[in-house]
Amino acid sequence: MDSYAVVGNPIEHSKSPLIHAMFAEQTGQQLEYGTLLAPLDGFEASVREFLRSGRGVNVTVPFKEQAWALVDEHSAAAERAGAVNTIVRRADGSLLGDNTDGKGLVRDIQVNAGLSLRGLSVLLVGAGGAARGVIQPLLAAEPAHLCVINRTVSKAEELAALFVDQGPIAAAGLQWLVEPVDLIINATSASLAGDVPPIPESLIKPGHTWCYDMMYSSDETAFNRWAREQGAARCIDGLGMLVEQAAEAFYLWRGVRPDTAPVLAKLRTS
């Protein structure tokens, strides 16, 4: 039976095995999917050992950049993102690296939440790997403008420069902008610590601005709680993004695209 795994450190909290088990049952695919705890200094050895017989892996923190360096070939998305979250072992043994995070984010916003990004003003908070991984798909959705804001402005400027050929993108500091926008996406990990990026409340137009936190938890994230208190029209966490990026990986591996709606619904109620 074909085997797959999600590799990270820590990894025991991952919902990926449950998600892929539901995908496999739904599509009639025969496969095994587990977790792989890699030592912080032993990612490459762990993955290569698993892929001696395994068909592919998903990669989570803190190894996405190391995965980019490990593979033999990058998809266009991974090349731009500078990070890999999905590895496919091909028939000749070579490794293809892809990044499905951005596709997962955009699909969750546009399909699951029903918000078309075309013509919107979008604010992306954070300039780390999570932000870099989603910029190209966001710009491909044709927003009117995408602005990356970050505490260290130079990092936001570097990101904007990397993608300036992809669409209308700019950079700014966390407190530089004050006018309301249509959508704010939090790509920082602040919510994991119960914190909120120090951005102006005026960015949210009550009843109009949508807010999306790429983090998720069993409770409302700190960012979404803050956004709701400012009157945001809708607040969404990153669970749908997790499911959608997993579906993209499943399709890469198996050539079958699962229906994500019942899987996401089950996770929301469990």
Binding residues: 14-16, 60, 85, 101, 126-130, 150-155, 214, 216, 238, 245
Phi, psi of 254 (to 5 degrees): -110, -15
Q: How do strand 31-37 and strand 2-8 relate by DSSP bridges?
A: parallel
Q: Which of 38, 36, 92 is nearest to 66 (CA)?
A: 38
How far, in Å, are 42, 45, 54, 72 from residue 49 at the CA level?
11, 6, 9, 16
Q: Which residues are annotated as a binding site for NADP(+)?
A: 126-130, 150-155, 214, 238
Residue 103 bears catalytic tag: no
Identified catalytic residue from 64, 103, 205, 266:
64
Q: Under DSSP, is residue 222 helix (H, G, I), strand (E, B) or coil?
A: helix
Distance CA 101, CA 98 (A): 9
Q: Which residues are annotated as a binding site for shikimate?
A: 14-16, 60, 85, 101, 216, 245
Q: Which of 184, 247, 239 is nearest to 217 (CA)?
A: 239
Distance CA 253, CA 247 (A): 10
Per-residue exposure over 5-28, b if at least 16 CB sit within 10 Å of its own CB, e if not: bbbbbebeebebbebbebbbeebe
- Please list the active-site residues: 64
